[in-house]
Amino acid sequence: MWEKTQETVKFLKDKGFVNIDYGIILGTGLGNFTDNIDISIRVPYEEIPHFPVSTVSGHQGELIYGTVGKKKVLALRGRFHYYEGWSLQEATFPVRVMKYLGIDNLIVSNASGGVNANFKTGDVMLISDHINMMPEHPLRGANDERFGPRFVDMHEAYCKDMIVHMENVASKQNIKLQKGVYLALQGPTFETPAEYGMVRNLGADAVGMSTVPEVIVAKHMGMTIFGLSVITDLGIEGKVEEVSHEEVQKVAKTAEKKVGMLMTEFIKTY
């Protein structure tokens, strides 16, 4: 893994991916955040050595480099999910690459089902913490100390200071934000009403199929993380409705402008 990471990093550095302030993982329906980036380089995943290639429609596979204001960003347009068949080591490989490109700050985004009765579809939730219920762990197996320690502290997986900063950005823009705990399940099925109930009982506010493995790997390497989730459907007791990937993408798209404004201002000013 170490050697592969270094090879991929060299390939990207040679292409000009240098001096990056923020790595961004764009989740379902949020791929067009790239409209807010003044893009100077784009590379399809299939051209990048050792990169996985995503298989889900609505998850284009492209690495994008450019600027937002004066900040340099690298955006991962299209992420890798456990349910696609990747191991969690494979799915999180791009995060390893980000770190060794010199990136210390990671922004993650996703679409999720809300299980908090105060949530509405289209809400944006700042991820304050997570619950890992994935059936595999990206750090299982021999630990390579060059990446990070065997036992990883997770007491502040999501940077509190960044959350406060985003709350300030949102209040200046008059955008209402939610804040809560994201729980990751393997998918690809959406939850049954009983499972949404379980998610709530476990102490979460939203449920999805991604993000947590990436955050764990980023934390392993000492990165600082900020995450937000677009609530695309609701799994609230007695009111669970049919949900589809199309609906999830549609709702995420409607929130895209709001998310774009928030993230752009956040990146410019943090």
Query: Which residues contact residue 24 at a Cβ distance below 8 angstroms, ignoring those fewer than 6 apart?
Result: 33, 73, 74, 75, 76, 106, 107, 108, 109, 263
Tokens of 121: 């579809």
Among 23, 78, 94, 113, binds ligand HPA (CB under 6 A): 113
Contact (CB, 8 A) for 98 and 48: no
* 111 interacts with ligand HPA by CB under 6 A: yes
Of 15-23, 107-115, 121-129, 253-261: span binding ligand HPA (CB under 6 A): 107-115
Q: Which of residues 189-228 bind ligand HPA (CB under 6 A)?
A: 190-191, 207-209
> Where does residue 70 rank: exposed (0-12), middle (13-18), buried (19+ CB within 10 A)?
exposed
Tell me the site size for ligand HPA, rule CB under 6 A. Answer: 13
Of 67-75, 88-96, 111-119, 219-227: span binding ligand HPA (CB under 6 A): 111-119
Of 109-117, 131-139, 157-165, 262-270: span binding ligand HPA (CB under 6 A): 109-117
Helix and strand numbers (H, E) in the chain are 8, 9
Among 62, 84, 205, 233, binds ligand HPA (CB under 6 A): 233
- The site for ligand HPA (CB under 6 A) is made up of 111-113, 190-191, 207-209, 232-233, 235, 243, 248
